[in-house]
Structure 1
Amino acid sequence: MNDPDTLARAYLALWNDADAASRDRRLADGWTPDARYADPMMTGAGHDGIAAMIAAARAQVAGHRFALRGTPDAHGAFVRFSWTLSPEHGAPIAAGTDIARLAADGRIAEVIGFLDKDSA
């Protein structure tokens, strides 16, 4: 995935996917096996660790969806994009900016997330 917008949308689709088996396929297709994720609230490593982390996060914010905010951009092997988390038909309860580092094959190798607005 060389296009920043395509990558950001695929990333958010992973987080929004309610089906665990489908999320596993998305991880296998779009993330390296040793990928890592970290933000101020959680961390995950490898497909299994990231899948478990996303499942736990989804359980905490059931009924909410991530949406792209603004236009993703890229520099070298890095893609930056912002997002919001909102209940259906409601105002965002959280917003953040994520930086993804891509492997040579274009898959995500690492994501560092920053919370711009927390629900707390």
Structure 2
Amino acid sequence: MHDPDTIARDYLAVWNQPDATQRLGQLSASWSDAAQYADPLMAASGRGAICDMIELARTQFPGHAFSLRGKPDSHRQFVRFSWDLAADGGPRVAGGTDIVRIDDQGRIAEVVGFLDG
């Protein structure tokens, strides 16, 4: 059984990792080889492409970090959690909810993200 709190925090740690090499290492530890990611603004397939996509997103919001909003929940192989994006001590500039599918090895296999209005 997977722990939704750990999955959500590890997921956000990947997005908050400024170093691409370390980020790819985090992805390798917790995401499947063929992981898929999609939200309304971007999509990527595979760890390397997801790492690059995160780098692009990070360059658009320098000095910002993702934080968990509320309590993650789960059922079967799915985890759902919400997040906020803000500069340190600043107002929220974006937020959303992600649905994560976990594979049989406990790794992230797919993420479907939704942005708040």
Q: TM-score, normalised by structure 2?
A: 0.98
CA distance in structure 2 between the partners assigned to 1:4 and 1:91 by the alignment: 26
- Matched to 2:96, the amino acid is G
Partner of 2:57: 57
Partner of 1:16: 16
CA distance in structure 1 between the partners assigned to 2:95 and 2:24 by the alignment: 25
Where in structure 2 are there 5+ consecutive unaligned residues? none
1:47 deviation in Å?
0.7
Partner of 2:5: 5
CA distance in structure 2 between the partners assigned to 1:48 and 1:74 by the alignment: 27
- Matched to 2:64, the amino acid is H
Partner of 1:68: 68
- Matched to 1:59, the amino acid is T
1:95 deviation in Å?
0.5
Partner of 1:32: 32
Partner of 2:42: 42
- Matched to 1:66, the amino acid is F
SS of aligned partner of 1:26:
helix
SS of aligned partner of 1:93:
strand
Where in structure 1 are there 5+ consecutive unaligned residues? none
- Matched to 1:70, the amino acid is G
Q: Say yes or no: does 1:112 pair with 2:112.
A: yes
CA distance in structure 2 between the partners assigned to 1:7 and 1:60 by the alignment: 25
User: How many residues matched?
Assistant: 117
1:88 deviation in Å?
1.3
CA distance in structure 1 between the partners assigned to 2:47 and 2:67 by the alignment: 23
Give the root-mean-square deviation of aligned CA atoms: 0.9
1:89 deviation in Å?
1.1
4+ residue stretches of structure 1 with deviation over 4 A? none
- Matched to 1:103, the amino acid is D
Fraction of identical pairs, as percent: 54
